[in-house]
Amino acid sequence: MSSSSRGKRRKQMDKDGWEEWGGYMAAKIQKLKDQVKSDGNHGSKSHIFKGISIFVNGYTNPSAADIKQLILKHGGVFHHYYRRELVTHIIASNLPNSKMANLSDKKVCRPNWITDSIEAGSLLPYQQYLLYNTQSKLQPGLQFKSDPKRTKTPEKQITTVNGSKDNMVMDGTSTVLGTKSQGSHCSNLHMKEENSVQDSFQVTAQSAKDSDRHAAGNPEAEILESSTSNFKQTFRNKKQSPKNTSAVFRGPAKAGDSNFLSEFYTHSRLHHLSTWGAEFRAYVNQLQQQGNHSYPGRDKLRELATQRLDKQSDLGGAKYKSKLNLKKTRLSLQDGKLQKVIMHIDMDCFFVSVGIRNRPELVGKPIAVTHSRGVGISKDRPGTDLAYERAYYQNRVYQRKNNSKTNIQSLMYEDELLDDCEHQSGDQFEKGSLLPTEQQAFHSMAEIASCSYEARKAGVHNGMFMGTAKQLCPDVITIPYDFDGYNEVSKMLYDTVAKYTHDIEAVSCDEMLIDCTDVLADTGATPMEFASLLRQEIHDGTRCNASAGLGPNVLVARLATKVAKPNGQYYVSLDQVGEFIKDKSVREIPGVGYSLNSKLLQLGVTTCADMQNLPLNMLQKELGPKTGQTMYNSCRGIDQRPIKVEKERKSVSAEINYGIRFTQESAADRFIKGLAEEVSSRLERAGVKGKTITLKVKVRKKGAPKETAKFLGHGVCDNVAKSTTIAMATDNPKVITKEALSLLHVLKFAPEDFRGMGLQISRLETPVNDKTQTSTPSILQFTVIKPQPPQATVNQSIQKLAEDKNEENMLIEEKTSKLKLTPEKTPRSNRPRSDTIDELMLPSPSQIDKVFLSELPADIRLQIENALKKRKCSSSNEAPSIKQHNVNVESQKPGCSFWQSQSTTTSLETDQSEKATKKCAALDENIVALPSFSQQKLSPIKRPPNKSPRKSPRKSPGKSPKYNKKQSPIFKVPQGKPRDRSNKNLSPKKLEFCTDHKHNEKVEEIKGNSNSNKQLPRLDTYASAQPDPVNLAGAVTLTEVKTLMKDWIKSSPTPEEEDLTQFVQYLGELVLDKNLEMVDLLIKYLYRLLVKEQATAWWNGAMFILQQTQDVMRATHAAVLKVSESWTNIPQQIC
DNA sequence: ATCCTCCCCTAC
DNA sequence: TAAGGTAGGGGAGGAT
Ligand SMILES: Nc1ccn([C@H]2C[C@H](O)[C@@H](COP(=O)(O)OP(=O)(O)OP(=O)(O)O)O2)c(=O)n1
Ligand SMILES: [Mg+2]
Ligand SMILES: [Mg+2]
């Protein structure tokens, strides 16, 4: 009964390369091809700026990117970095004196020199456009004012929903295409990455390109901006991939090579993406926790706002828009809290932007970042069956009738034929009608990580296969990955924003959400001003464009970003939401992917307006309660999710589903070992240990070709996962390896069928005082850099301490979290959400403003009003069961037979027992505790409303000591070490103690014990010092005991009599303790375990346990436990 | 009802 | 050639 072939949901697969490859997109190709051609070249070149080499400094209008376009188009040279010897003119609207000093001998002109010259059709004398005549500044402060014409914001439109595009100022992006020109039709410029050593596929000639590339990375280039980064170069050299970064020789690594793991990870974009995402979340978390919140950038914003106000009053509101701005400003000043503004910032085609930031000649061209050399030549590899795979994916895409049990394969071939017909007719393939295999020959299946907007016009998108992209856009230029560059730019991005606020949620390395409420209220700036400034500064620092979407909530902000891109910003105010959301496709809602979209389509829903017509109960019935509720709100532009503050980690994993080809089992075993080491080091870095180990494998689907269409890809697979939970949390690679191997071996798949493997560790615990601290703290990298302000406050010291150790010191954590709370700054963010829709939208009672309400669109207003009426204070949602469970668990490390084997080395960890103590009741088993102590249970579980503080659940150490004392007796298991101790049995005393609440102390005592002991023989040891709660080798809570039982039963085919005795004794103590519920639950669990594990040889032992326990019952209660009849059936069931 | 376990789904 | 990772939300269905 083990296997669980569950529902047949289709796998996901949306807009990835497989979709088009499957073929359905093929029909579009030709069309798009034509399209790109037409967009392609136009734009003749002029020579207005011949001989002129410019460098743009700072915030300008038009933006540097636009100026670049203009300059290049008109025969000039554009430098991304200032080089004294090459640059003839500097373009700027404003320059700080400090910079001015460095440029004293240069001609610094205002940007309108460029625009005016173009308009005039010839180069105008620069003298009249000098920014500074000699020394005196012509323009006072900020960029905005410096140029009269430019009152407008920098780039792109700033439209407001109603399309008042008229309001907008200029459209910088439009210039982009202008540069297109003939140049784009060149061949591939892709250069080889230095690392790719692959002997077998040596690429020829790339030396020339390399030099080209290196030249671009001139160190001097960064001179002007480097000073702004907090990240400094210190980090710069940080290694990219996890530990094993050796890697060098060896050809195409295959799983099995010792360095395969690191080789793969150093080239995996998705791995980098994930890793960086985690790092930035940690960084933001740290920013928020550290006491000092100085925001050096805000002065600039204030100045901006002030200037605007002055100007407005001077002009008496003559400027268009001024009224609006005035009003907004006033509101934000007066009721900052009321007007929540969320900004979503995302870098434009991130990998591409970084990749070409030093290669201006590539700007405006269709670019793609990919590992492919662009050729995509691959001979037919024997063993491939493209038709099979193509059909398989098409099947998924189209979601054919359920291919229930019918011969899937034939069905697929049928599809293949159909689709082939469709395609071929479309002639999308340059070679006329190609056979599948032939197509393949010209079809690189390397994925495109990111492509420029020019390429997107042709239909190319991120995740598409290079081969497909080539068909859509033959002129696409590929550039290699530059992981160091991405990381560098990301840091600059985060640093820049952090100068203004720490109310940030890190979404990924190129993207974040900012709660602007506080900054705007503090500075008086408008949302758009803030966005402009940020984007400009980001561009100044990175030479990459960022776009920003702003709105009253996260959902709207994200949707607005899509409108803003590329290189623009877009603000949707609350009263514009209804109109804005109406025509959006539901597929655009974050969280609506392929699957959910398909379900909605079946309900006849395509747009948000469509979905607004469906009642809540219907959505919930069709999609589930939560999802239904979310959709109901989302299609109305309602979204109450606060910016996420920090999430505690629930699992740590490492998996690789590429390049896995084993020929023998030993190779698979070795690979598992490598994964275990990898995941172990990640656990260590994160400062956590876990108890549940899950092995995930991909296995070639029966009937699927042995060689995959994608080189070394996983192809069509079945996913299999198997997990186990051990008694003690671990991060020991040996333990993980051992568990993983045993999981692997029970699966019994042929080694050559594996296509992917992964290990995930969950049920994490944070060791309190981990002495193993030598490990490196993860986040540190970030913090270290930050220069600590002189006034080192206590908090800072604490923080520092935390950095040194792992972030996890309990005390530290407690304190810092408190600090966080105090400043109500992000109040809403931590608030629990209510379940009902209506309630969700409410900002919070205090935030609701009547006047404001009245201005809302009717439907929204209604909802809010209704919600207000109904509002209860329920909460629920929030941390859906923060698993603090086992809190205490860790305690014991029994020294006995079975469990001891689990993790030998782990013994040390246990000492944390102290914490455990505090933990109080484990949530899981509420039952466990004696009635008298029941109160204790409360605390941990229901951590009220704001979970924020509790990052690390388990420890709740903070609690007052006294509190601890009481509890300690109950749960903790002192004996971690006890085993050694002499007395074997549970002493009657224990019982006594348990019953009486007083036992306390002990934390220390416990610790002491732990140290002392060490290994010892059997279970017997458990009891030890006196005041221990009833326990089984240290396990106290239901969960702990269950885990222990499971391990015990799995540890050996037959039970040891001594262990049986110990167990009986334990149950007997429980009986005496009057904890009959626990006894009952354990007996039931024992039964289920035996059935599940098919432990036939344990049946007698189990009966022995039951009978003995019943004897105790009879003696003490004159009654017996009521046991399911199923016990009598065990033998049969097991067999 | 609520919890737990095993996935699928989604995002970058 | 190519580098299809990773963590959390939440639904389905069974246990309690
Ligand atoms: N399937 C994907 C999607 C994204 N990425 C990487 C490359 C992207 O540059 C980066 C950021 O993802 P975005 O979704 O922000 O996409 P871009 O930044 O490339 O483009 P956009 O301008 O739409 O944000 O993540 C990737 O490797 N594979
Ligand atoms: Mg992006
Ligand atoms: Mg992004």
Give chain A's mean pLDDT.
63
- Dump strand ranges (E) for A354-424: 367-370
A571-575, A812-816, A1011-1015, A1102-1106, range with the lowest pLDDT: A812-816
- Return the pLDDT at A1088: 75
- Which residues, in sequence order, are CB contacts of A1063 under 8 Å at separation 6+? A1019, A1032, A1045, A1048, A1105
Structural contact between residues A958 and A912, judged by C-beta atoms closer than 8 angstroms: no
Which atom of ligand 1 sits closest to the CA of residue A16? 1
Which atom of ligand 1 sits closest to the CA of residue A463? 1
Residue nearest to atom 1 of ligand 1 (CA): A463
- Dump strand ranges (E) for A267-356: 342-347
Classify the C-alpha dihedral A679-A680-A685-A690 as positive or negative.
positive
Per-residue model confidence as pLDDT tens digits over A671-692 = 999 999 999 999 999 999 999 9
CA of A762 to C1' of C16 (A): 23
Residue nearest to atom 16 of ligand 1 (CA): A349
The protein residue nearest C11 (Cα–C1') is A624
Task: Check the annotation: does A1059 bind a ligand.
Answer: no
Closest CA to A221 of A352, A357, A364, A403: A357
Closest CA to A849 of A300, A336, A220: A336
Structural contact between residues A544 and A347, judged by C-beta atoms closer than 8 angstroms: yes
pTM, two decimals, is 0.58
Distance A263 CA to ligand 1 centre (A): 23
Q: Does the beta carbon of A346 sit less than 6 angstroms from any atom of ligand 1?
A: yes
Strand B lies under 7 A from the Cβ of residue A596: yes
- Which residues, in sequence order, are CB contacts of A646 under 8 Å at separation 6+? A281, A284, A285, A288, A948, A951
The protein residue nearest B10 (Cα–C1') is A591
A5-14, A282-291, A834-843, A850-859, range with the lowest pLDDT: A834-843
Which atom of ligand 1 sits closest to the CA of residue A451? 19
**Which nt sits closest to A374, CA to C1'?**
C1
A77-86, A364-373, A733-742, A1023-1032, range with the lowest pLDDT: A1023-1032
Report d(CA A173, CA A702) in Å as an integer. 51
Structural contact between residues A536 and A144, judged by C-beta atoms closer than 8 angstroms: no
Structural contact between residues A984 and A1020, judged by C-beta atoms closer than 8 angstroms: yes
State the Cα torsion A1060-A1065-A1066-A1072 to the nearest 10°: 150
Strand B lies under 7 A from the Cβ of residue A835: no
Please calculate the CA angle A679-A879-A336 and round it to the nearest 5 degrees.
115
Report d(CA A939, CA A925) in Å as an integer. 14
Strand B lies under 7 A from the Cβ of residue A878: no
Distance A348 CA to ligand 2 centre (A): 5
Residue A71 confidence class, pLDDT cut points 50, 70, 90: confident
Report d(CA A723, CA A1052) in Å as an integer. 18
User: How crowded is the C-beta side of A433, counted as CA atoms within 13 Å?
Assistant: 7
**Which nt sits closest to A923, CA to C1'?**
B3
Distance A551 CA to ligand 3 centre (A): 18
Report d(CA A370, CA A445) in Å as an integer. 10
Task: Check the annotation: does A1077 bind a ligand.
Answer: no
Closest CA to A1087 of A1133, A1053, A1038, A1031: A1133
Distance A905 CA to ligand 2 centre (A): 45
Report d(CA A484, CA A487) in Å as an integer. 5
Q: Which nucleotides of C are covered by protein (CB under 7 A)?
A: 1-13, 15-16
Structural contact between residues A717 and A698, judged by C-beta atoms closer than 8 angstroms: yes
CA of A84 to C1' of B12 (A): 39
Closest CA to A1110 of A1123, A1124, A1098, A1125: A1123
For residue A407 the two structure tokens come to 């011969």
Read off the pLDDT of each residue in A1111-1132 and give the average, rounded to a whole number. 69
Strand B lies under 7 A from the Cβ of residue A379: no
Q: Please give the DSSP secondary-structure letter assigned to residue A443.
A: -
- Return the pLDDT at A1049: 78
- Return the pLDDT at A1050: 73
Report d(CA A1115, CA A1072) in Å as an integer. 10
Enumerate the β-bridge partners of residue A653.
Answer: A760
User: How crowded is the C-beta side of A820, counted as CA atoms within 13 Å?
Assistant: 28
Report d(CA A46, CA A797) in Å as an integer. 61
Per-residue model confidence as pLDDT tens digits over A386-414 = 777 776 666 654 443 333 322 222 223 22
Enumerate the β-bridge partners of residue A762.
Answer: A651, A692
Mode of pairing for the β-strands spanning A136-137 and A132-133: antiparallel
- Return the pLDDT at A645: 84
User: What would the DSSP string read from start to end of A155-220?
Assistant: SS----TTTGGGG----TTHHHHHT-TGGGG--------TT---STT-----HHHHHHHHHHT-GG
CA of A288 to C1' of B2 (A): 35
Structural contact between residues A525 and A519, judged by C-beta atoms closer than 8 angstroms: yes
Cα A1115 from chain centre: 58
Report d(CA A781, CA A437) in Å as an integer. 49
Answer whether residue A565 shows pLDDT above 90: yes
Task: Check the annotation: does A346 bind a ligand.
Answer: yes
Structural contact between residues A1134 and A1099, judged by C-beta atoms closer than 8 angstroms: yes
- Tell me the residues surrounding ligand 3 (ion) with CB < 5 Å: A 346, 510-511
Read off the pLDDT of each residue in A337-365 and give the average, rounded to a whole number. 94
Residue A522 confidence class, pLDDT cut points 50, 70, 90: very high
The secondary element (H helix, E strand) that includes residue A858 is helix A858-870
Q: Does the beta carbon of A449 sit less than 6 angstroms from any atom of ligand 1?
A: yes
Q: Is the peptide bond before A945 cis (omega within 30 degrees of 0)?
A: no
**Which nt sits closest to A696, CA to C1'?**
B7
Report d(CA A324, CA A576) in Å as an integer. 14
Report d(CA A463, CA A21) in Å as an integer. 12
Structural contact between residues A26 and A423, judged by C-beta atoms closer than 8 angstroms: yes
Report d(CA A124, CA A502) in Å as an integer. 46
User: What would the DSSP string read from start to end of A790-825?
Assistant: SS--HHHHHHHHHHHS-TT-HHHHHHHHHHHHSSTT
**Which nt sits closest to A12, CA to C1'?**
B9
- Return the pLDDT at A113: 75
The protein residue nearest B3 (Cα–C1') is A924
Per-residue model confidence as pLDDT tens digits over A602-639 = 999 999 999 999 999 999 999 999 999 999 999 999 99
Report d(CA A322, CA A302) in Å as an integer. 17
Answer whether residue A842 shows pLDDT above 90: no
Strand B lies under 7 A from the Cβ of residue A592: yes
Report d(CA A591, CA A954) in Å as an integer. 30
The amino acid that residue A300 corresponds to is K
For residue A211 the two structure tokens come to 């030099």
Strand B lies under 7 A from the Cβ of residue A924: yes
ipTM value, please give it. Answer: 0.98
Answer whether residue A459 shows pLDDT above 50: yes
Report d(CA A1035, CA A593) in Å as an integer. 44
Strand B lies under 7 A from the Cβ of residue A6: yes
Mode of pairing for the β-strands spanning A448-451 and A367-370: antiparallel
Strand B lies under 7 A from the Cβ of residue A787: no
Classify the C-alpha dihedral A1012-A1017-A1019-A1023 as positive or negative.
negative
Answer whether residue A138 shows pLDDT above 80: no
φ, ψ for residue A762 (rounded to 5)?
A: -135, -175
Ligand 1, pocket-test mutation among A20, A274, A275, A349, most atoms within 8 A of CB = A349
Distance A189 CA to ligand 1 centre (A): 21
Distance A152 CA to ligand 3 centre (A): 27
For residue A733 the two structure tokens come to 């690679």
Number of neighbours of residue A210 by Cβ within 10 angstroms: 14
Q: Does the beta carbon of A351 sit less than 6 angstroms from any atom of ligand 1?
A: yes
Residue A422 confidence class, pLDDT cut points 50, 70, 90: very low
Report d(CA A1111, CA A300) in Å as an integer. 80
Q: Please give the DSSP secondary-structure letter assigned to residue A258.
A: T
The secondary element (H helix, E strand) that includes residue A1038 is helix A1038-1051
**Which nt sits closest to A592, CA to C1'?**
B10
Distance A482 CA to ligand 1 centre (A): 14
- Return the pLDDT at A769: 64
**Which nt sits closest to A201, CA to C1'?**
C1
φ, ψ for residue A1077 (rounded to 5)?
A: -65, -40
Distance A355 CA to ligand 1 centre (A): 13
Report d(CA A92, CA A946) in Å as an integer. 48
Q: Does the beta carbon of A503 sit less than 6 angstroms from any atom of ligand 1?
A: no
The amino acid that residue A95 corresponds to is L
